[in-house]
Amino acid sequence: MEIRKLARYILIHGAWSGSWVWEKVVPMLQKRGHEVEAIDLPKYEDVFNEDITLQTYVDKVCENIDHIPESVILVGHSMAGAVITQVAELRPKKVKSLVYVAAFLIRNNESISNISDKDTTSLVSESLVPFPNEGYGVIKPELAEDTFYGNCTKEDAEMAKSRMVKQPLSPLNAPVQTTAENFGSVPRYYIECLQDKTITIEYQQMMYTNLPCEKVFTLDTDHSPFLSKPKELTSILDSIS
């Protein structure tokens, strides 16, 4: 009988959030025998006197995986798609595979804003209140549920809204720099969310068409499957191991 090798997952949250988004998924993956860690990216509230860039996020993840002897599965949600892409470019031998969960899968020299600015049916532009002089943006509380948590329980949506933070704008405008030799050598997977109002399904499909993946999985839910479909999301992640 073949014994399945268990994996090590590093879970990375998207904009306006934190490692708490994975609180339902982490124990489910651990129960299946995997090693799992959810990382908190640097927050504006913590380092408000310093610039937070895409490279700041990338350095945080690289610092984490550099201390892990084996290769890892990097799972990035939303904005963190750009983060895991850049990490794979810098540490291709440390990354077993990349998993994009309703995430920005962008090509060399593209930025998140290159895609999001064109996604005119996304609710983010309507929900976002930018503070350009301070370098961050916040989400209007009254629109957060429709934008991010439309298929979540009321309890989960309220919890998530209460934990949202200021999002630095610089990482959203920074282009990734990738090569076929490094980033292109790492297997990638995409988990699309059909009812997503943050990155609409048309733009998710466009991105993974431009950068084909080993496999595309589908969840019929909103932008936050870790809250709305945690069991289904866990099963998909487990299958990638």
The first and second tokens of residue 136, run together, are: 């961050």
pTM: 0.95
| CATH numbers and ranges of domains, the chain | 8-240 (3.40.50.1820)
Q: How far apart are CA 49 and CA 52, in angstroms?
A: 9
Helix (H, G, I), strand (E, B) or coil at 86: helix
pLDDT in tens, the chain (241 residues): 343 558 999 999 999 999 999 999 999 999 999 999 999 999 876 665 568 999 999 999 999 999 999 999 999 999 999 999 999 999 999 999 999 999 999 999 999 999 999 999 999 999 999 999 889 999 999 999 999 999 999 999 999 999 999 999 999 999 999 999 999 999 999 999 999 999 999 999 999 999 999 999 999 999 999 999 999 999 999 999 8
- Rounded to 5 degrees, φ, ψ at 19 are -65, -20
Tell how many helices (H) and how many strands (E) occur in the chain: 11, 9
Q: How far apart are CA 26 and CA 110, in angstroms?
A: 31
Q: Identify the residue whose tokens are 């890892």.
A: 72
Q: How far apart are CA 8 and CA 36, in angstroms?
A: 6
